[in-house]
Chains A and B, each alone.
Chain A
Amino acid sequence: MRFVSKQLSRAYNAAQANESPVIPPQKTAPVDPNVPTGRWTPLDSRVITADRVVGWIVAGVVSSVLFVGVGALHLWVLLSTWASIGITFAAIVIALGFMVLARAWPPVEYRRTFYRVDELGVEICRGVVFRRRIAVPRSRLQHTDISEGPIERRYGLATLVLHTAGSVNSSISLRGLDRGTALHLREALSPETEHDAV
């Protein structure tokens, strides 16, 4: 491990020695008191409630479909007692599973999602099992969108969508931001010049 780091730092120094500017001095981070610069910031905690509501809706839909299905099965197909008990039990377990997930998953996800904005651009960390950290350089942003679903709006939340020209990850959405924060972020990230033409 040390060996690799050493090698890297050697490459680093070599690169810096015969290389031009490290950070373009003319580009300074836009000063906006509402946008924390350089710090890892969690989402708005209301996203937990909002996600739980979505989770409950999904759980409700899934369990009602399941129970209607089980009922229909009992009506139209002659089942043995054990089959009937087994199927009903499985349906109850699945429905309960969805409900438990609806309650327990949002806080777990919330604790694993952070973003930060600095003079270089945006970084997003997310994922519970498979964790990912995505960095979008400021100058590579084609445009940014803000979208609000009905449930998000109810809780004063918004989603910031970052569009790049990449062949993958071409739109990266950051869910669960406070609506005001999302607007400020978008302001802070919108490119100053428009001469970047595709």
Chain B
Amino acid sequence: MLSKDLSGHVGSYRLHPLSVVFRMSGAIRALILPGLAVVILARGEESDIWLMVLFGPAVVYAVVRYLTVRYELHENEIVIRQGLFFRSVRHIPYHRIQNLNLVQNVFHRVLGVVELRIETAGGAEAEAELRVLSAAALAEIRSQISGYKARVDEKEESPPDMEPEVPGSKDEIDLLWPPVDDALSPRLLYQMNAGEIARLGLISNRGLLMVAALIAILTQVDLLESSIEWLSSVQWLAEWITWSKLLSVPLLIVLAVVGTVLLLRLFSLVWSFLRFHDFRLVLVGNDLQTHSGLFTQQTVAIPRHRVQRLVIRESLLHRWFGRVSVKAETAGGKAIDPGVGSRWLVPLAPRHVLQSILDAVRYDVNLNGVDWLALAPRASRRMGVRYLLLLFIVCAAAAAISTWWVVLTFFPLAPLAMLLARLDVKHRGYALTPSAFLVREGWYTRKRVIIPYSKVQTVSLGRSPFDRRHRMATLRVVTAGPTPGTPSVHVPFLTLSVALRILQRLRLEAESHELQW
């Protein structure tokens, strides 16, 4: 499959020949509507020529691209050359590679190829995309990179990074990425069964997303209007409406609301099965790999020392079901699936799985033994003022668009705002463990962020004039993030003397825990 030309001992490779087809399919998807228009408008005779004019450049482009893109696997870097007139050469040292992401949709799978995205810490975009590669070529790239890692590890004489093998787990896992080295036996950390995926669908409200997608598709093909027309013209609907007048209006509204909610949850279920079918979290050597998807399968590999911080979320629904969701934030590379937003280590798992995940990431944090510390004693008063201000702005805005006395709703709502502020402060907190800084917040969706000291980049204290009056400060802990400007973790309303001590402690810990990329 590989076309290798011998320039020295370094292999220079082309993409898989099928990449022409996949490159073209992208263009065809974009041109499908104009194409249809051409076929309809030209009516036969000349449509062939017009189609060629339309699709010809795309075909030529795809072929030229296939012929010009080459990658070379050097001892410690991968070099990607591309371009016909404007040639570009991109050097990506192996040690800079944050993660390798694989995407395999149905067509890819049938044809036995994959799309590979190489991500580094640099920008928001993937550093390089190789579409598409054969499985053999992928294995070659992987072995080259892991070979490099092994050499570096040997040089640094670090203890071998092996996890105890779980007997039997090896046979159950057929990975998209077969482990190159036999010593790197994969360890299954967590697998979602159908019940768990269904639960995920029920808990995470992704239904609206599906509805939005559906509406977008419908409007695209002008189906929405016609379907509405169709619905209103249908006899049974009209009859049903007259019949329903017998029922009370409130009941009808309740029915509509319940129906919508159920429908949304149903959509959410569908989304969940599409996205997370057969979800597995596997530890292979030093990589955490997630593998999921019904039609489009995704494999994301995150070297565990590249996880900058872990975010654990529990909404009220999560807590009812006794479940948690865990996301890992890495440096570099956009989240591969914009619909999902970030890298799930585990989209949904029973609570007891949490600790084994923390252990796998080597966070050395015992979540049950964390000693959470509260904000300053007067924090809830200040938060209350903030909530009241917000409420007042909302009320004033509501009054501005309706009548002035609407602003009076502020008074009955004020106690509620104060209560929420109290709850907010009560559920905020931080903790300093021997290996990590922990922050928690949120009373509805409880969020816990774990930042190992080795990932802390900068620490800062901010003091607004109000903070100064109350002798308080806001603590910010910055780590490397997926994109510049990713919000840092912050703890507001800390007593100044406490905040200063935390700052010094964090400086100390950051300096004594060496940064590992």
Residues of B within 8 A of A164 (CB): 457-458, 478
Inter-subunit contact A167/B498 (CB<8 Å): no
Which of B93, B487, B501, B508 contacts A22 (CB under 8 A)?
Answer: B508
Residue of chain A at shortest CB distance from B331: A165
Residue of chain A at shortest CB distance from B457: A166
Residues of A within 8 A of B5 (CB): none
With A164-B457, A167-B478 as contacts: A120 and B96 at CB distance below 8 Å: no
Inter-subunit contact B462/A8 (CB<8 Å): no
Residue of chain B at shortest CB distance from A169: B458
Residues of A within 8 A of B501 (CB): 5, 8, 12
Query: CA separation between A119 and B511, bound complex, in Å?
Result: 9
Inter-subunit contact B511/A139 (CB<8 Å): yes
Main secondary structure of the interface of B (DSSP, over half): mixed
Which of B487, B488, B510 contacts A137 (CB under 8 A)?
Answer: B510
Query: CA separation between A72 and B170, bound complex, in Å?
Result: 82
Residues of A within 8 A of B460 (CB): 132-135, 169
Within 8 A of A (CB), among B151-198: none
With A3-B377, A132-B461, A132-B462 as contacts: A19 and B507 at CB distance below 8 Å: no
A172 within 8 A of B: yes
Residue-wise interface mask of A (109-139) relative to B, using a CB-CB cutoff of 8 A (1 in contact, 0 not): 0000000000111010001011111111111
Residue-wise interface mask of A (155-183) relative to B, using a CB-CB cutoff of 8 A (1 in contact, 0 not): 00000000011111110100000000000
Residues of A within 8 A of B373 (CB): 4, 7-8, 11
Residues of A within 8 A of B515 (CB): 139-140, 196
With A24-B511, A167-B485, A196-B515 as contacts: A140 and B463 at CB distance below 8 Å: no
Query: CA separation between A159 and B515, bound complex, in Å?
Result: 26
Residue-wise interface mask of B (337-361) relative to A, using a CB-CB cutoff of 8 A (1 in contact, 0 not): 0000000000000000000000000
Inter-subunit contact B517/A140 (CB<8 Å): no
Inter-subunit contact B121/A198 (CB<8 Å): yes
Inter-subunit contact A166/B480 (CB<8 Å): yes
Chain B interface extent, by class = 35 or more
Which of A1, A123, A127 contacts B495 (CB under 8 A)?
Answer: A1
Residue-wise interface mask of B (430-455) relative to A, using a CB-CB cutoff of 8 A (1 in contact, 0 not): 01111000000000000000000000
Which of A1, A10, A138, A168 contacts B478 (CB under 8 A)?
Answer: A168
Query: CA separation between A137 and B96, bound complex, in Å?
Result: 22
B371 within 8 A of A: yes
B381 within 8 A of A: no
Residue-wise interface mask of B (496-510) relative to A, using a CB-CB cutoff of 8 A (1 in contact, 0 not): 011001110111101
B486 within 8 A of A: yes
Which of B120, B371, B458, B514 contacts A14 (CB under 8 A)?
Answer: B371
Inter-subunit contact B458/A5 (CB<8 Å): no
Inter-subunit contact A129/B95 (CB<8 Å): no
A83 within 8 A of B: no
Within 8 A of B (CB), among A14-68: 14-15, 18-24, 27
Residues of A within 8 A of B498 (CB): 1, 4-5, 8
Q: Chain A nearest CB: distance from B440 CB in Å? A: 15
Q: Chain A nearest CB: distance from B396 CB in Å? A: 26
Residue of chain A at shortest CB distance from B329: A167
Inter-subunit contact B507/A120 (CB<8 Å): yes
Residues of A within 8 A of B503 (CB): 133, 135
Residue-wise interface mask of B (449-487) relative to A, using a CB-CB cutoff of 8 A (1 in contact, 0 not): 000000011111111110010000000001111111111
**Residues of A bordering B, CB below 8 Å:** 1, 3-5, 7-8, 10-12, 14-15, 18-24, 27, 119-121, 123, 127, 129-140, 164-170, 172, 196-198
Listed by A's residue number, 29 A-B pairs whose Cβ atoms lie within 8 Å are: A1-B377, A1-B495, A4-B373, A5-B501, A7-B371, A7-B374, A11-B432, A22-B508, A23-B508, A119-B511, A121-B510, A127-B463, A130-B462, A130-B465, A132-B460, A132-B463, A133-B503, A139-B510, A140-B515, A164-B478, A165-B331, A165-B480, A167-B478, A167-B482, A167-B483, A168-B486, A168-B488, A172-B458, A196-B517
Given contacts A131-B462, A140-B456, A169-B478, 13 further A-B contacts (CB under 8 A): A1-B497, A4-B377, A4-B495, A15-B433, A22-B512, A121-B511, A130-B462, A137-B510, A139-B514, A140-B458, A167-B457, A167-B483, A169-B488
